[in-house]
Amino acid sequence: MSLHERLRLKPKKKEVNPNEANVSLTKGELEALIIGLGEATFKGKQVESVFKLAVKLQDQLQKMK
């Protein structure tokens, strides 16, 4: 019996952000997305959000190496 069960405590649930998705991607999938973003054309307001997305994808790829 674990300590939280003995004390009748409920384990803390991880808070879920309804605006955030957790996705598992392979190294190849991350690379394909980064290459696709690099070859695509974006205009105006899209440029900043696509840049931020590319940075997140690159961070995840670096963590895998």
First to last CA, the chain: 39
Residue 11 within any structural domain of the chain: no
Q: pLDDT for 26-61, tens place per residue?
A: 999 999 999 999 999 999 989 999 999 999 999 999
Residue 8 within any structural domain of the chain: no
Q: How many domains does the chain have?
A: 1
Residue 43 within any structural domain of the chain: yes
Residue 35 within any structural domain of the chain: yes
Residue 33 within any structural domain of the chain: yes
pTM for the structure as a whole: 0.68
- Distance CA(33)–CA(40), nearest Å, equals 11
Residue 14 within any structural domain of the chain: no
Residue 21: per-residue pLDDT: 86
| Residues spanned by the domain of 30 | 25-65
Residue 7 within any structural domain of the chain: no
